[in-house]
Amino acid sequence: MNKYTEIGDLIYLISKEIKTRMDEGIKDSNLGQGQILTVMNLMRLKGHEPISQEMLVEEMKINKGNISRNLAKLSDKGFIEIIQNKNDQRKKQIILKEVAYDEFVGISRVLQEIFGHMVKDIEEDDLAITLETLNQMKKNLSNK
Residue 1: per-residue pLDDT = 59
- Are the C-beta atoms of residues 67 and 53 closer than 8 Å to each other? yes
pLDDT along the chain (144 residues), means of 10: 86 94 83 85 81 86 88 91 81 84 85 94 97 94 80
Residue 121: per-residue pLDDT = 97
- Are the C-beta atoms of residues 103 and 31 closer than 8 Å to each other? yes
Residue 140: per-residue pLDDT = 92
Nearest by Cα to 134 from 33, 8, 43? 8
Question: Positive or negative, the Cα torsion across 51, 55, 60, 64?
Answer: positive
Tell me the fold of 5-142.
Answer: Arc Repressor Mutant, subunit A (1.10.10)
- Are the C-beta atoms of residues 42 and 51 closer than 8 Å to each other? yes
Residue 144: per-residue pLDDT = 67
pTM: 0.72
Secondary structure E strands in the chain: 51-52, 80-84, 92-96
